[in-house]
């Protein structure tokens, strides 16, 4: 979400006549987009701002994103060289704020969360020429006890289906072949226009756009992940063979205290839908270890869930207390050494699962979208529909760039995090 926000902000700057330079030292305007989902984000931001300050006189500095929203005007007091503090819910007004800065204003803010708008712009400057993000819903109406997002990104608001579809068609026309639909909780997408599409309907329509070969989406909330999504996926090969379904914990007791609104059994039902679906879907997840009150037995249930589900990859985090969240008031804090031990145990278990699952791919032929080249290894970098990295050698016509092409590749070797193969000549 943040990477795409930066693409939209950069595009707005270009539209206003700015040009991009290679380093902050060369810039007249430095905007720092920030995340505060975990760790000591605020501290990192202030340290970085100090370094920026040393790097230049006469520059204009701005702080964007979740730390801006969270710390607000305090940023001006701690870092007086900053002239703009703006959270993501105010990006629709970013152009106006730029005009104020140019006119010499030195304490410009965009901090209101009271909005029904989303940040849509035709001027997005995209980092990748083949894969494009499209935001379909911003904000979050859940209240997970550990999570700062509802306080930093504000309430849910969906884009109209017309506007999403128009962007998808424009991207296809411009040569993009992969689209990634974005939102904090894409499953609660609800078209505000009379068409009234839900997420599954939107997903199917985007997958049917001529020229779009791959559609991904992130992130799903299990509570709102309906069977209609699996059915839509089964119907459209263009929807990638991958579902990221963050579980957070394998213990119903912990899920309840996290206010996740589903039990372990309800989560497993969704996994069963996916496992018994028309295609093989790769599953990935997010897990938090050491949430307040998580016992050894709770943690073992998370380990057991990994055995049951067999994820292809996961993101795991030590619980990190966040401002404003309900979990801050909870007792039974898990000591950091114990969180660390659980994190390592979890990651080791998952690594073994991935080594085994990836080894099972050897001999398979998979289609990859070529994303780049490892010059030193003499390999092209490919990504499969199920979101694995599959690097490969390609002998025929090696002088030409393959980036952006779709090619069949035979898997010859595997590791815990990626696969290696060779391109297959199609006769
Ligand atoms: N501490 C640790 N991990 C967190 N996440 C969100 N908030 C916290 C927190 N306070 C993780 C969740 C979420 C992912 C994006 O970040 O696992 O799914
Ligand atoms: Fe945070 Fe929960 Fe919303 Fe995800 S669903 S952004 S974890 S509050």
Q: Evaluate: CB of 150 within 6 angstroms of ligand 2.
A: yes
Q: Rounded to an integer, what distance in angstroms lies between the CA atom of residue 316 and that of residue 169?
A: 36
Q: pLDDT tens digits for 180-223?
A: 999 999 999 999 999 999 999 999 999 999 999 999 999 999 99
CA of 318 to the centre of ligand 1 (A): 8
Alpha helices in 142-193 (DSSP H): 149-153, 161-173
Tell me which H or E stretch contains 354: helix 336-359
- Closest-CA residue, ligand 2 atom 4, reads 184
| Ligand nearest to the backbone CA of 138 | 2
pTM: 0.95
pLDDT at 20 over 80: yes
Q: pLDDT tens digits for 124-152?
A: 999 999 999 999 999 999 999 999 999 99
> Measured from the CA of 287, which atom of ligand 1 is nearest?
17
**Which residues, 6 or more positions from 87, have their beta carbon under 8 angstroms from its beta carbon?**
64, 65, 66, 68, 69, 110, 111, 113, 152, 153, 154
| Nearest one of 262, 238, 237 to 252, comparing CA atoms | 262
CA of 98 to the centre of ligand 2 (A): 31
Q: Evaluate: CB of 320 within 6 angstroms of ligand 1.
A: yes
Q: Rounded to an integer, what distance in angstroms lies between the CA atom of residue 73 and that of residue 50?
A: 17
Q: Report pLDDT for 397.
A: 64
pLDDT at 396 over 80: no
Q: Rounded to an integer, what distance in angstroms lies between the CA atom of residue 182 and that of residue 186?
A: 7
User: Tokens representing 49?
Assistant: 């701002």
Q: Report pLDDT for 427.
A: 55
Residue 151, SS3? helix
Of 35-44, 210-219, 407-416, the range with the lowest mean pLDDT is 35-44
CA of 254 to the centre of ligand 2 (A): 15
* CA 202 to chain centroid: 19
CA of 296 to the centre of ligand 1 (A): 20
Q: Rounded to an integer, what distance in angstroms lies between the CA atom of residue 334 and that of residue 346?
A: 16
State the average pLDDT over residues 354-362: 98
């Amino acid at each position: 979400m943040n990477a795409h926000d930066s693409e939209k902000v950069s595009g707005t700057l270009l539209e206003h006549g700015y040009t991009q330079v290679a380093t902050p030292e060369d810039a007249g305007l430095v905007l720092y987009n920030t995340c505060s989902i975990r760790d000591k984000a605020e501290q990192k931001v202030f340290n970085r701002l100090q370094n920026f300050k040393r790097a230049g006189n006469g520059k204009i500095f701005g702080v964007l994103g979740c730390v801006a929203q969270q710390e607000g005007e305090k940023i001006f007091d701690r870092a007086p060289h900053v002239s703009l503090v703006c959270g993501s819910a105010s990006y629709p007004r970013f152009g106006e704020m730029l005009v104020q800065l140019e006119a010499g204003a030195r304490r410009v803010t965009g901090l209101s969360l009271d909005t029904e708008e989303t940040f849509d712009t035709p001027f997005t400057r995209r980092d990748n020429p083949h894969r494009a993000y499209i935001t379909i819903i911003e904000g979050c109406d859940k209240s997970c006890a550990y999570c700062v997002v509802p306080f930093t990104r504000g309430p849910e608001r969906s884009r109209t289906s017309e506007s999403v579809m128009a962007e998808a068609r424009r991207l296809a026309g411009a040569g993009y072949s992969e689209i990634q639909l974005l939102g904090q909780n894409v499953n609660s997408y609800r078209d505000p226009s009379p068409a009234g599409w839900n997420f599954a309907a939107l997903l199917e329509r985007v997958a049917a756009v001529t020229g779009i070969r791959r559609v991904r989406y992130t992130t799903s909330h299990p509570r709102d992940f309906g069977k209609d999504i699996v059915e839509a996926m089964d119907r459209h090969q263009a929807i990638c063979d991958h579902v990221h379904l963050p579980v957070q914990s394998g213990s119903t007791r912990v899920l309840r205290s996290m206010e996740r609104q589903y039990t372990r059994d309800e989560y497993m039902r969704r996994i069963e839908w996916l496992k018994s679906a028309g295609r093989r879907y790769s599953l990935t997840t997010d897990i938090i270890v050491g949430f307040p009150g998580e016992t050894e037995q709770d943690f073992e249930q998370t380990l057991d869930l990994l055995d049951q589900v067999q994820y292809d990859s996961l993101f795991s985090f030590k619980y990190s207390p966040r401002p404003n969240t309900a979990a801050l008031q909870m007792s039974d804090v898990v000591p950091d050494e114990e969180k660390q031990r659980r994190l390592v145990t979890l990651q080791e278990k998952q690594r073994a699962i991935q080594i085994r699952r990836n080894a099972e791919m050897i001999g398979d032929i998979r289609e990859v979208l070529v994303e780049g080249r490892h010059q030193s290894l003499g390999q092209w970098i490919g990504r499969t529909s199920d979101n694995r990295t599959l690097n490969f050698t390609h002998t025929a016509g090696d002088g030409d760039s393959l980036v952006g092409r779709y090619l069949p590749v035979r898997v010859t070797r595997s590791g815990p995090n990626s696969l290696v193969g060779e391109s297959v000549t199609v006769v």
